[in-house]
Structure 1
Amino acid sequence: MRDVVGAYIWLLRGTPLLLQVFFVYYGLPNFGITLENFPAACIAFVLNYAAYFAEIFRAGIQSIDKGQYEGAKVLGFTYWQTMWRIILPQTVRRVLPPVSNEAITLVKDTALVYAIGLGELLRATKIAVSRDAVTSPFVVAAVFYLVMTYVLTKVFDKLEQRYSIYE
């Protein structure tokens, strides 16, 4: 199982998200699986970001000192009790910054669905620029992306403060 998960993570992190979106939308019909553009985009994003989040959480769990596991064992905790009550709460504190970075990247990566004809902010912007021969819609799109990333940044800042052990 570890090899399968390792191969999955290697494959999804090692290939561009746009290629994965194309594969899910255009490639899966060759295997008898046809999806509309929105579900295809969602599946591609979930598969891609799951690989990144798996690595973030793996690193977070491995960063916890082995003494924590040993202490839990001495106290008679089972493996699952150790994970849920001791390891994962500490892991969450450590992985919040990289998780917030990935969430912000996800918001920006949504522009890639334009490539399979799914309407989104960047597609609407390009249509407006082509129609009106002005570039101001690009500025408006940039402001929207900045506002979305600002909101996400503030939400994750609050979470980091809430789970911080130093403040």
Structure 2
Amino acid sequence: MSRKVNLDLERSPVGIGIRKVGEWIEFGDFTDAGGAVGTKTLAKQIPAGSLVFGSKVKVTEGFIGDVSAVLDIGDGSDADLFSQTTHNVFAAASNLIEGADAAADASYRGFVAISSDTTITLTVTVDNDWGDVTAGKMFVEVFYFSTNPEIADKSQTRYDARN
């Protein structure tokens, strides 16, 4: 989506724009959580008043060294809140897309309402031991609708039909 279209969405009477948190992650960025799990908290948070609708992962270098590697994207308390199922990150792949997981029983994909600034936690689980992982690089994106203006330039934030 172009910046102009998103700007127009935020300037509309509804004021909702499409945003994302995106970050390049390498295997060395993860903390060994013990056993088969590595965790990483992304630097940018999802702001309060947002509706998360999904995630996308591009793996440019597989997380190898063990026999498998899968990624969950969550908020630290629900490991797969922003990805209903796991992303396979063992081999290079593009367009690994998942809807947000709005139900506890994983039966529903939909919007996840964010009532306070929320941290994104990545959890990679391998077959045996996280310490066995020797490589891996990916770009992780979490997409959301923002109900609060996040425009960084000096443009007005509400649509005015007189202009």
Normalising by structure 1, what TM-score?
0.21
Determine which structure has greater relative contact order: mean sequence separation of CA pairs < 8 Å that are 6+ residues apart, divided by chain length: 2
Normalising by structure 2, what TM-score?
0.21
